[in-house]
Structure 1
């Protein structure tokens, strides 16, 4: 369990260091969802919608938010 958490943290830091384009934010949000950290995933999806409303990932982020919020 510790190794998995450590690996997750390392991946998150690596992605965060690469910048915050819509695609990278979406990848990070997906990763957070897989780790069952839906609160942080939702925050990242909202950030995509706010900062990159015209990006293809915005549509995907909206869909994931709706699924997470049960809409």
Structure 2
């Protein structure tokens, strides 16, 4: 149920007409929420999506840092 709700929120965020930087920020917020909910696998996917889709954004810089932290044992 939690995953379905998270995906629904993500779809709503991505489908808004916000500019790319706003979408990247919204995705980052969702990824951070997932990480706080101990859903690290989904957070990692979202961080990777941010880096891939918005590589030059401030959100991508944060996403890269979080990916590095998540990769630590």
- TM, length-normalised to structure 1: 0.77
Root-mean-square deviation (CA, aligned residues, Å) is: 2.1
Could you list the per-position Cα deviations for residues 12-71 of structure 1 after superposition, in whole angstroms to 9, with x for gaps in the alignment?
323431326111110110010011000000000000000000110011000000000018
Structure 1 gaps of 5+ residues are none
Runs (4 or more) in structure 1 with deviation over 3 Å come to none
The structure with the larger Rg is 1
Structure 2 gaps of 5+ residues are 16-22
- TM, length-normalised to structure 2: 0.75
